[in-house]
Amino acid sequence: MTALICGSLAYDTVMVFPGRFREHILPESIHMLNVSFLVPSMKRNFGGCSGNIAYNLRLLGGEGAPMATVGTDFGVYAQWLTDCGVRTDHVLTIEGEFTAQAFITTDLDANQINAFHPGAMDHSHRNQVPLDAGVTLGVIAPDGREGMLAHSMQFAAAGVPVLFDPGQQLPRFDRAELLGFVERSRWIAVNDYEAQLLRDRTGEDIAMLAKQVDALIITRGAQGSVIMTGGREIAIPAARPDAVVDPTGCGDAYRAGLIYGLIRGLDWETTGRIASLLGALKIAHAGTQNHRFTAGEFAARFRAAFGRAI
């Protein structure tokens, strides 16, 4: 194994309401809300940060495995990962719990009403980083709060370099905890909003935080990304997608590209472009694990996007 990806595994149930929420929610009665939406369209997707990253890394030909806690309903997802060539031997089943699940209802105006049940994810601290599995790179992705703290410390104790990707869990940590993550990490990956939040919660300028790690990567959607490393900023252009269908999971795809480049020892200019292209390929498909490509197809798309070979 090369990369051990600590983070969530989840089911994403996406429903489409063929109407508009605003036509069914009365502003003057919001204090006594009681509504029901008929959703004739529903699709269940495989998701969760560690699953999405591992899936994309496998598409690139990289070696990695998710480490997560799941419920007794995980069987069909486990089979999917196995069929895709993703290892599940570091996935721990928690009896009496459901796998983490997101329920997303979207209306015709692209408004969303979401509910998230963490389930087994809240037990992530019961899964421990193995010391004898050949792990050469660790990833701390969004997961149960206590699990993220524990796994960060376990990687540090084992001397394993870590990519810290706090994502939507960033607000759950205080200043001291976040600075501890930074101290124990070699790389940090955040989007532009998370970068501002990291600055505000730590009280440290982003440039100063970047000096404490080998690289701090900030993604900016269609505006590309920037890699802050060695006192310089490397601008990475966004790859043009075939279509903009579903942005969910694009950040995870990007991070898989980062991991692939780190594993292969590629320079940051190439690594960032691999990550950018992977995000663009993902956004053209609904769901987080429904895009596929061959090595030859990816190489051709890379050349077309950036005018150079990988």
Q: Is 252 a catalytic residue?
A: yes
Strands annotated E in the chain? 3-6, 10-16, 41-47, 64-70, 91-93, 100-106, 112-117, 137-140, 162-164, 187-191, 215-219, 225-229, 232-236
User: Which of 210, 212, 284 minimizes the C-alpha distance to 243?
Assistant: 284
Q: Which burial class, exposed, middle or buried, applies to 260 when counting CB atoms under 10 A from its CB (0-12, 13-18, 19+)?
A: buried
Catalytic residue among 174, 242, 252, 267: 252
Cα separation of 297 and 163, whole Å? 28
- 8 A C-beta contact, residue 174 and residue 201: yes
- 8 A C-beta contact, residue 260 and residue 274: yes
Residue type, 303: R
- Residues identified as active-site: 252
